[in-house]
Structure 1
Amino acid sequence: MDGQNPTHRFPGLALTPSAALALLAGVVLVQALPVLPPMVLSIGLLVASVCGLLRWPRQYAWLLVLVGAAWACCRADLALHARLAPVLEGQDLLVTGRVVDLPDRRADALRFDLRIDTAASEGQPVPLSGRIRLSWHGSPPEVTPGAYWQLVVRLRPPRGLRNPGGFDFERYALQAGIVATGYVRESADNRFLAAPGRFAIDAWRDHIARHIDRSLGGEPHSRWLRALAVGDQRALTDADWTVLRATGTSHLMAISGFHVGLLAGFGVLLARAVWWCFPALLQRAPARHWEAPAAVAFAALYTALAGFGLPTLRTLIMIAVIAGARWVRRSSSSAQTLAVAATVILVIDPVAVLSAGFWLSFLGVAWLMFCLGERRQPWWREIVLAQAVTSLGLLPLGVWFFGQSSLIGPLANLVAVPWISFVVVPLTLAGVAMAQVAPVAGDAVLRVAALAMDLQCALLQGMATLPAAQWHFAEPSVLALLLAMAGAAWLLLPRGWPMKWVGLLLLLPLLWPRSDRPGPGEVDVEVLDVGQGLAVLVTTSNYAMVYDAGARYPSGFEMGGAAVVPAAHARGVHSLDLLVVSHADNDHAGGAPAVAAGLAPRRIEGGQVLADLPGAVHCEAGREWTWNTVQFRTLHGGSGDPLLSDNDRSCVILIQAAGGRVLLTGDITRPVEQRLVPVLRDDPVSPLALVVPHHGSKTSSSPAFLDAAQPVLGIVSAGYHNRFGHPHPDVVSRFVSRGAALLNTAESGCIRLRIGADGLHVREQCRLDRPRYWSPIQANFHR
């Protein structure tokens, strides 16, 4: 050896901030791929780039980008291959495995995750391992975390909805390691196999959550303490999350890295108390040899209780790096420590970059380091500056991931962060710990913590009701995000930096994006992907309408708030001129209350009485109106004939622009179709797109109706592999025989049409036009 420092000889191997950024860049580039390269190519690139690092260490930046890309491809490919094979979809499988995380008992089913040990079909082993998400309907037994079960299940690969602004479940499944979803079948083979092990972390978490609930007598505010103590968010309601989002405090209910740091600090204080009481211990080892492991141990314990969430894991790694450096008497800068934490997570799980938590956690810390550095400030000034820095620095990411930002978030966090972090969390953890040795005293402390949390909740609820507490933004482009990030960095540069106004200009494309609304005389009709249901967003240059709002399920999940409202916000629509609920069937009307609450329609119409929509009126055949020269006409309403079935009471609306027409039909069947034949036959001949009646049921889309309408395009809104078999093969053949194209939201995702003077065009199919390697694409264009 020549005595040189190895990191000088091989700078590419040092875990510096620049190396971590290069590795991150490679991992991020892969996430834009529509399809992953072959595994052989990814492995070859990984080996070649690693060898290149050893051979040309001074080119480490570019080579680490290749390492990151190749490694991300390999890990993602393995994760996708672990998913349920298509040939096993819908089969009864006998699986054994361990319950992981915390089961969630809801009104309609028990939901839990099972990590599979073995799987078999008809007595033969099948290649399936990993984590599956199950629902157990009926009256399921008690399922405890960490327990081993044998179950008969029916599964399918992870599949989600694809809409603008919506939640991408397939991406989440890849990140969370979920290889299949399904339900437990009623079977005599379902049986409990073994209790949780003594060191099952999830069983501890469940035990602590139950103890908090019992200590507080099942009172509603126990849900907050459960979330702060063990990351148990099962009892938090939609109203709770609405308040947290409106005030920008959702991160506090996810056990933030700051809370883990507090526990590490408590470990240090405890170690100091021990050697202060027993000073002879310092003769055996210096203080740092007692403090470092204590800090890591307490941080690791809280990270485990939080379910190893990404922000807590990042903090744990950073604490471990600092503690290790102190142990070996080496210094480690904050930037170096953050770089090591990022590198470790990217090596362990490069798919973590798909989660919002990864970016908000690491970038939030990076902004604080960049702006505050090592400068000492009065504590109150540090708190104020930290909130200002994180609010501005993370604004672009908040808009990118969630499509919204809280205007009162900085003020709410200025109060909530210190109160929850220094009062509620310590009291909650102290109460939990004391309950193990002195239950009465521990329960008393928990009640004090609940009271403190109630005070904070009352304040947050009041702030959430302030005008314009929360702003929603249209879906931004990648370029707008990058410009906004640069703008935030510009604004956060040291005082005195010239032309700070440039930072504000760079934020404008994100906060005030170019409108994609139709021009005068044009209309957009977007059939949203809401599973087995219907929801259509109609926009002209100045007006907006929603026709139907999808279903609401016994679990409380509903499509109005999950799909329709986010899609409207993503398209730049913040209020409606008209909400039409075709009829009262749940798959059309279930999400309507959420749409009414989120988009405040000026007028509500329905084909039937809608008790949960005050002020709604019946849609009446013959009503006409014009928006921006686009004509709307109600062809059929449900109030005139008491003999009509519920489906045939659907409002039928014809939309006509200069270059084409769209017909919204709800669930009408042949009797109403027959009434519409003369109307459609006498209409001007222009291209017509038909939202296929009743999801493509064989009771609709009669030959006479199709001959009169002469659609050039049919759009089916149906669930993927739905149990009704929609669209029916006979309906498909009728469209094909007439030369009409047929699209299905189950395969295309959302389907967006634009009609103007130049005709009728399919402008976007969300699943096909936004391909991602984690989302399967299937042929869906029938001719």
Structure 2
Amino acid sequence: MTRLLPQGRGWHLGPVQPGLRAWVRDWQVGAFAVPVAAALVAGCVGVLQLPVLPPIWLLCGLLPLGLFAWWNGGTARLIGAALTGVACCGLHAALVLGQQLAPADEGREMIVQGVVASLPDQQARRARFLFELDADAALSLPSGRQLVLSWYDDFDAQAPGPRTALRAGQRWRFQAKLRAPRGLRNPGGLDAERQLLAQRIAATGYVRAPEQAVLLAPAAGLGAWRDATARRIQAAVGTSSARFVTALAIGDTRGLQDRDWELLRAAGLTHLIAISGFHVGLVSGLCALLASALWRCCPALGLRLPRPTACALAAVAGASGYAAIAGFALPTVRTVLMIGVVALARGWRRPLGASRALALAAIAVLLVDPLSVLVAGFWLSFAGVAWLVWCMPRSEGARLREFLSAQGVATVGLLPLTAMLFGQASLAGPLANLVAIPWWSLVVVPLSLIGTGLEALHAGWGGGPWRLAAWCFDLSWPLFTWLASGRLSLLWLPEASALAFALALVGGLWLLLPRAVPGKPWALLLWLPLLWPSTQRPPQGAVDVTVLDVGQGLSVLVRTHRHTLLYDAGPAVPEGFDAGERVVLPALHALGVRHLDKLMLSHGDADHAGGLEAVRRGMPTHRVQAPAGSPVPFDQACRTGQAWTWDGVRFQVLHPGAHFPYLRNEASCVLRIEGRHGALLLTGDIGEVIERKLLRQQRALLKADVVLAAHHGSSGSSEPGFVRATGARLALVSAGFGNRFGHPHTGAVRRWQRHGAEVLNTAESGALTVWLDADGLSVRERRQFQRRPWDAVWLRRAARLSYRPAIDRPSTPKD
């Protein structure tokens, strides 16, 4: 007996719905079916989750074996696709990692010659750009490898260098100092090494002796045209909205400030503000419609070229041209490849369902670029289309209803993925996208493109459309600013497990099934582990401490059962890296911190207090404490004798005294934290003089299980008597890898080791989490705990200065 089910994607009359039949047909294990694509993805992801890559000889052997099983068909096809994914992705990763800067060239000054391969990001004191090497570059890198270089005005130069003259497409010769790709590793933070691997970056570095930089050839090529067009848009529009028109017209987001990105994230519009896969697909579809209309108006054209083939070629041509305008950024290249595969199948007049077309596109993308699985855009684009294919109706209906349904499907279906990838969810996003998608994509972007096309034909013709695009953009921007400024517009989510992500996906699928499917409210329960994961706090009397990996600086998070203290906010450079925004805030959100009961700044130097403003702006903070006379805003001065107790844990300030002058490092607030199961000492940047003073006046209070080595482990700290008095089992160092100060100093490290302490450095270990609870003292190094193949490469290069005798390292997360 048949029954009537509510209208949905293919859900009509019958015991087995036509839409379901289509999916069952598409899921048959053909050579390019959905299960095969899923197996290929699983293989690519699996090999990148290993701590080290398999040997090259093994990967080379797996590749023909996987291809043979894939081609042979049958039940072995899925295994063959998975093995092919393992082999292809492993070989790609090994090739890219093997072509990174050799250890012998680390830290050396050398001459590099090549082409500026990106639009330089010009800031107040530096420029940052991609640099593609020439064949004659005297390096251990092959021709065509790309570097990420920074050019500072004040490095080894008596006068500012000509960095402001940098243009895309220019050929330069620089004296540069390089290092292999390396980044910070923290809870909730961006894995820069993974991103650089996906982009095939061979090294990073900065220009030395800018006055010796030589311009070998003027700007030429596509990059020069994009750079010139960006300047023309700025001149033609003349208002602040020019930065958005530039982003939408040619994919140039250099003009967008941090505040702009904050608003876009809160409104859920980051996917629309630059040339993205969505816009490439839009232009491609428009070109296909124009070709179809032309062939219908001139039927004689069909005698020379069939209309479906013409539409397919027009779609690929439109997508390729738009990708060229964006500088062939990786997301646009992937979209062009997807469109090309589908167009090729249509051109051959092969029957191709929506799900099979999606699977074929995914297979093509992964065979060409298997490292795409490292990029969030790959998952968002394919997952978004997959949800729409599954849920949207096949029959013709009200366009508005279809559009609203698509927004609902995208919101529910992609929420688990955005929460897992970015640790956040935009509650204002669905409403903002209802306006932004039709208005920006159908009005602002076409006007921007018309202006770009007219400007390419004749200089000055693009000004009118660009100004009109800016005016149209300005009509909508106040609405999005208002939506994004609400306190509930953006929901930050703590880090969750893979199991929580899988349960949320099942819950989303359940919610998007037809209305007649029972138990819909129960599906919401499957979202709870992802949206409200367990952020287990220390029990009463216990304490846990996380030393964040902020580079050459310091930031320490201390948590008790119900309270949270942040000791220092990390470094910040004007118009550059701000650890408060890039590291500290994401880590606080990922660890489930909702507010800070106290923020204590050891002193006012930029490497300790630089991130203060960003932290206070993004995290409710009850009180800020710093030494008297410190050049940073604070609510209360820290002085010897101050003490308080939170949840059975005692906090006590040991330095500076009431009348101690502000002497920068030597005035650092020294904080002792003692729980039921051990004590911790945070020392800031004090030197040997203050260490001896504490040794004379408060020797008994120096006893601690864990000590933060003073002044990043400098040679002028960690005085032998002070080290002996602490009796520490663990000494923690917060320092940047290969920093120019040589921290931690070998002598300081050996003094701690000589007195029985294990020394761990954030430069090698990433963020360090220490637990002092009923289980004793335990520590986790984030880089070792979540080790990936790109970690293994450079960890082999790092000189390990510590030994590992007695500290417990839990194998499962405590928090």
Give the TM bin, normalised by the shorter chain.
over 0.9
Q: Provide Cα deviations, 1:653-691, integer angstroms capped at 9, x if missing partner.
A: 100001111111111112222221145432496x52110
> Are residues 1:171 and 2:223 paired?
no
Q: Report the more deviating stretch, 145-154 or 411-420.
A: 145-154
SS in 2 for 1:212: helix
Question: Which of 659, 673, 682 does residue 677 from structure 2 map onto?
Answer: 659
> Are residues 1:146 and 2:169 paired?
yes
Is the contact made by 1:680 and 1:708 (CA closer than 8 Å) also made in structure 2?
no
Is the contact made by 1:119 and 1:125 (CA closer than 8 Å) also made in structure 2?
no
In 1, Cα distance between equivalents of 2:409 and 2:719: 62
In 2, Cα distance between equivalents of 1:734 and 1:672: 17
Q: Provide Cα deviations, 1:49-93, integer angstroms capped at 9, x if missing partner.
A: 223334554420111111111111111111110111111111122
In 1, Cα distance between equivalents of 2:738 and 2:657: 30
1:458 aligned partner: 478
2:11 aligned partner: none
In 1, Cα distance between equivalents of 2:274 and 2:387: 20
> Residue 24 of structure 1: CA displacement?
0.9
SS in 1 for 2:111: strand
Q: Provide Cα deviations, 1:322-377, integer angstroms capped at 9, x if missing partner.
A: 43344333332211221121111101111110111110011001001111042323
1:3 aligned partner: none
Q: Report the more deviating stretch, 336-345 or 359-368.
A: 336-345
2:156 aligned partner: none
> Are residues 1:484 and 2:500 paired?
no
Question: Which of 111, 131, 137 does residue 146 from structure 2 map onto?
Answer: 131
**Percent identity over paired residues:** 45
1:518 aligned partner: 538
In 2, Cα distance between equivalents of 1:117 and 1:425: 36
2:656 aligned partner: 637
> Are residues 1:772 and 2:788 paired?
yes
1:355 aligned partner: 375
Question: Which of 738, 741, 744 does residue 761 from structure 2 map onto?
Answer: 744
In 1, Cα distance between equivalents of 2:95 and 2:59: 11
In 1, Cα distance between equivalents of 2:143 and 2:292: 50
In 1, Cα distance between equivalents of 2:211 and 2:551: 32
Query: RMSD of the alignment, in Å?
Result: 2.2
| Code of the aligned partner of 1:248 | G
Is the contact made by 1:368 and 1:389 (CA closer than 8 Å) also made in structure 2?
yes
Question: Which of 92, 99, 102 does residue 82 from structure 1 map onto?
Answer: 99
Is the contact made by 1:149 and 1:191 (CA closer than 8 Å) also made in structure 2?
yes
Pair 400,289 (structure 1): closer, same or farther in 2 beyond 3 Å = closer
SS in 2 for 1:113: strand
Pair 384,173 (structure 1): closer, same or farther in 2 beyond 3 Å = same
Question: Which of 451, 454, 457 does residue 434 from structure 1 map onto?
Answer: 454
TM-score under structure 1 length normalisation: 0.93
> Residue 278 of structure 1: CA displacement?
5.5
Task: Kindly tell me the number of residue pairs found equivalent between the two proteins.
Answer: 765
Q: Provide Cα deviations, 1:462-503, integer angstroms capped at 9, x if missing partner.
A: 111213111111111111111111111111112211212332
SS in 2 for 1:641: coil
> Residue 604 of structure 1: CA displacement?
0.6
| Code of the aligned partner of 1:28 | V
Residues 330-345 of structure 1 correspond to what in structure 2 (within 5 A)? Answer: 330-345=350-365
Runs (5+) with no aligned partner, structure 2: 1-24, 154-160, 805-815
Pair 133,587 (structure 1): closer, same or farther in 2 beyond 3 Å = same
Residues 268-667 of structure 1 correspond to what in structure 2 (within 5 A)? Answer: 268-272=288-292, 274-275=294-295, 280-437=300-457, 442-609=462-629, 613=633, 616-637=635-656, 640-642=659-661, 645-667=663-685
Is the contact made by 1:12 and 1:53 (CA closer than 8 Å) also made in structure 2?
no
Pair 698,440 (structure 1): closer, same or farther in 2 beyond 3 Å = closer
SS in 2 for 1:70: helix
In 1, Cα distance between equivalents of 2:676 and 2:91: 51
Question: Which of 195, 204, 221 does residue 225 from structure 2 map onto?
Answer: 204
Q: Provide Cα deviations, 1:564-609, integer angstroms capped at 9, x if missing partner.
A: 1111111110210000111110000000111111111101101144
> Residue 612 of structure 1: CA displacement?
5.4
Q: Provide Cα deviations, 1:494-552, integer angstroms capped at 9, x if missing partner.
A: 22112123321111111111123211111111111111111000111211010001111
In 1, Cα distance between equivalents of 2:447 and 2:256: 20
Pair 56,410 (structure 1): closer, same or farther in 2 beyond 3 Å = closer
Pair 48,323 (structure 1): closer, same or farther in 2 beyond 3 Å = closer
Pair 215,743 (structure 1): closer, same or farther in 2 beyond 3 Å = same
Pair 419,331 (structure 1): closer, same or farther in 2 beyond 3 Å = same
Pair 373,720 (structure 1): closer, same or farther in 2 beyond 3 Å = same
Runs (5+) with no aligned partner, structure 1: 1-7
Pair 645,259 (structure 1): closer, same or farther in 2 beyond 3 Å = same
In 2, Cα distance between equivalents of 1:653 and 1:153: 41
Pair 769,326 (structure 1): closer, same or farther in 2 beyond 3 Å = closer
Is the contact made by 1:387 and 1:410 (CA closer than 8 Å) also made in structure 2?
yes
Pair 265,684 (structure 1): closer, same or farther in 2 beyond 3 Å = closer
> Residue 277 of structure 1: CA displacement?
6.7
1:5 aligned partner: none
Q: Provide Cα deviations, 1:595-629, integer angstroms capped at 9, x if missing partner.
A: 1111111011011445653x522112211111110
In 2, Cα distance between equivalents of 1:220 and 1:732: 52
In 1, Cα distance between equivalents of 2:463 and 2:413: 40
1:190 aligned partner: 213
Q: Provide Cα deviations, 1:147-168, integer angstroms capped at 9, x if missing partner.
A: 2222222110011001110111
In 2, Cα distance between equivalents of 1:346 and 1:640: 65
Q: Report the more deviating stretch, 15-24 or 362-371.
A: 15-24
| Code of the aligned partner of 2:192 | F
Is the contact made by 2:733 and 2:761 (CA closer than 8 Å) also made in structure 1?
yes
Is the contact made by 1:695 and 1:717 (CA closer than 8 Å) also made in structure 2?
yes
In 2, Cα distance between equivalents of 1:126 and 1:767: 27
2:37 aligned partner: 20
Q: Report the more deviating stretch, 430-439 or 572-581.
A: 430-439
SS in 2 for 1:254: coil
> Are residues 1:681 and 2:699 paired?
yes
> Residue 120 of structure 1: CA displacement?
5.0
Is the contact made by 1:678 and 1:708 (CA closer than 8 Å) also made in structure 2?
no
SS in 1 for 2:162: coil
Pair 127,415 (structure 1): closer, same or farther in 2 beyond 3 Å = closer
Is the contact made by 2:549 and 2:734 (CA closer than 8 Å) also made in structure 1?
yes
In 2, Cα distance between equivalents of 1:97 and 1:523: 53
| Code of the aligned partner of 1:182 | G
> Are residues 1:36 and 2:36 paired?
no
SS in 1 for 2:118: strand
| Code of the aligned partner of 1:682 | A
In 2, Cα distance between equivalents of 1:427 and 1:340: 33
Pair 125,606 (structure 1): closer, same or farther in 2 beyond 3 Å = closer
In 1, Cα distance between equivalents of 2:656 and 2:622: 20
> Residue 257 of structure 1: CA displacement?
2.6
In 2, Cα distance between equivalents of 1:442 and 1:495: 50
Pair 23,435 (structure 1): closer, same or farther in 2 beyond 3 Å = same
